[in-house]
């Protein structure tokens, strides 16, 4: 299958090389990321990974996956004190987040993941020489998995999820997916739903990598005792930065997409009729859209205060245009919204604010986070809405009921209890690999 796959891929090689040029010269991505895509791992990375056993290559795509990888790395260090961990990512924003993990001593080296062509993959594997390769969530690159196994590395999918798209695509490309799954030594799944879906696929394909339910590592982050301190620190940090009084109601809308900002601003205009001191901070999913979002805010007759600028603007709508700070910002809020859900995008992780004791509102389009949405609704820690009017009504309800908001941390702790220890279970599985 390896030869056939790459034979079929060969006609697209010129386009892939053009993509590298376009990424650097048109999208203005970093030179380091383009070198990384070509499998060029800096020599200091190789040096940092030597001298330990085992060498673990942990891969995440962008910011969200990189943040989820950090507690996994910490658990691995506790379970395997002599291991060396290299953390790779694909995007520049993910790399910035990875730098924080390296600075905190959670990983030993950070670098960019190679484009899935044999020449680039072999080059990267030769530099890193992993004993174990861990990939987060849905990152299953066929050439890489094949060549990693061929090099002697164990390959494991961590925090695995089976999306609707994957469930639909696997039967259409059975030989390809059979090859991919056969190159996995382990599949660690987030939930019983994902496990049932994965088992259905393996039965269809006739392959059976070892699988277990570890729980969602993204939810193995805080304990109830931590939440009050996290929120106190976040309020002290973020509210002064955006010129927000401590008693002013704060609504944080994170991971928003085109079309959602206008609905949020419309709801906020209505909200101001009752809560005149209320403030809104919007964090677009892709920070390169910051100028576009600023224009949308201005069209709704609000002034704008960007995080990257150090000038206070009275009563402005805040715009978070920096990387890796949204989770902390949620903790400073009274009510939150998680985007990609009012439009047909599939949603984002609506449990991120809930973990920090903040009720969450989200739209109907949450097919990528169906279990999380169900958990939020059943635990009473958030509200699903259908449109802008329902969004506005939900914000009003949460802001009017201070007592209900105060119960969110405890309700969240009870609902998330099954996921406690997820990172430890991942580390224990890796430690058992032979």
pLDDT tens per residue across all 434 residues of the chain: 898 888 888 888 888 888 888 878 777 788 888 899 999 999 999 999 998 789 999 999 888 788 889 999 999 999 999 999 999 999 888 898 899 999 999 999 999 999 999 999 999 999 999 999 999 988 899 999 999 999 999 999 999 988 888 888 999 999 999 999 999 999 999 888 899 999 999 999 999 888 999 988 887 765 656 888 999 999 999 999 999 999 999 999 999 999 999 999 999 999 999 999 999 999 999 999 999 999 999 999 999 999 998 778 888 999 999 988 999 999 999 999 999 999 999 999 899 999 999 999 999 999 888 888 999 999 999 999 999 999 999 999 999 999 999 999 999 988 888 788 999 999 999 999 97
In sequence order, the β-bridge partners of residue 158 are 136
CB atoms within 10 A of CB 114: 27
Residue 63 is predicted with a pLDDT of: 81
The pLDDT value recorded for residue 212 is 94
The pLDDT assigned to 120 comes to 96
Q: How far apart are CA 359 and CA 395, in angstroms?
A: 10
Report the pLDDT value the prediction gives residue 222, as an integer from 0 to 100. Answer: 59
pLDDT value of residue 317: 97
The CA distance from 254 to 235, in Å, is 17
Q: At what angle do helices 422-432 and 63-79 cross, to 10 degrees?
A: 60
- Do 127 and 31 contact (CB within 8 A), yes or no? no
Of residues 97, 23, 33, the one with CA closest to residue 60 = 97
* pLDDT at residue number 382: 97
pLDDT at 350: 93
Provide the pLDDT for residue 163.
83
pLDDT for 104 equals: 92
pTM greater than 0.85? no
**Is the distance from CB of 47 to CB of 127 less than 8 angstroms?**
no
How far, in Å, CA of 57 to CA of 66, rounded? 13
According to the model, what pLDDT value does residue 27 have?
76
Tell me the two tokens of residue 136: 């987060």
Sign of the CA dihedral running 421, 73, 348, 200: negative
Are 330 and 353 within 8 A, CB to CB?
yes
State both tokens at 271: 């909200």
Q: Please report the pLDDT score of residue 91 as a whole number.
A: 87
């Amino acid at each position: 299958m390896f030869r056939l796959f790459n034979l079929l891929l060969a006609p697209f090689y010129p386009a892939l090389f053009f993509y590298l040029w376009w990424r650097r010269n048109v999208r203005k991505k970093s030179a380091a990321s383009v070198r990384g895509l070509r499998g060029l791992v800096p020599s200091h990375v190789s040096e940092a990974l030597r001298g330990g056993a085992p060498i673990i290559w942990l891969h995440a795509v962008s910011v969200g996956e990189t943040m989820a990888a950090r507690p996994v790395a910490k658990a691995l260090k506790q379970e395997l004190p002599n291991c060396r961990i290299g953390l790779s990512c694909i995007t520049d924003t993910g790399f910035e987040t990875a730098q924080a993990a390296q600075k905190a001593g959670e990983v030993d080296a950070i670098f960019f993941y190679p484009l899935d062509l044999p020449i680039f993959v072999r080059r990267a594997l030769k530099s890193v020489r992993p004993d174990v390769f861990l990939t987060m969530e849905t990152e299953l690159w066929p050439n890489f998995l094949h060549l990693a196994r061929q090099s002697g590395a164990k390959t494991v999918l961590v925090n695995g999820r089976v999306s609707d798209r994957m469930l639909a695509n696997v039967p259409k490309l059975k030989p390809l997916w059979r090859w991919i799954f056969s190159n996995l030594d382990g599949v660690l799944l987030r939930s019983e739903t994902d496990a049932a879906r994965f088992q259905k696929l393996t039965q269809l394909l006739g392959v059976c990598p070892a699988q277990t339910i570890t729980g969602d590592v993204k939810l193995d982050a805080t304990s109830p005792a931590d939440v009050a301190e996290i929120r106190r620190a976040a309020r002290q940090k973020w509210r002064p930065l955006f010129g927000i009084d401590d008693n002013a109601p704060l609504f944080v809308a994170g991971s928003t997409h085109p079309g959602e900002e206008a609905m949020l601003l419309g709801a906020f205009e209505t909200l101001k009729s009752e809560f005149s001191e209320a403030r809104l901070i919007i964090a677009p999913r892709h920070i390169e859209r910051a100028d576009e979002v600023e224009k949308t805010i201005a069209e709704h007759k609000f002034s704008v205060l960007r995080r990257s600028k150090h000038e206070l603007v009275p009563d402005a709508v805040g715009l978070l245009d920096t990387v890796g700070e949204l989770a902390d910002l949620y903790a400073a809020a009274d009510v939150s919204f998680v985007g990609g859900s009012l439009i047909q995008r599939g949603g984002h992780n609506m449990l991120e604010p809930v973990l920090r004791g903040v009720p969450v509102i989200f739209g109907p389009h949450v097919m990528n986070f169906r279990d999380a949405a169900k958990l939020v609704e059943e635990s009473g820690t958030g509200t699903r809405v259908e449109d802008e009017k329902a969004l506005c009504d939900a914000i009003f309800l949460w802001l009017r009921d201070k007592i209900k908001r105060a119960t969110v941390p405890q309700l969240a702790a009870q609902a998330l209890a099954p996921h406690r220890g997820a990172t430890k279970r991942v580390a224990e599985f890796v430690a058992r690999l032979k």
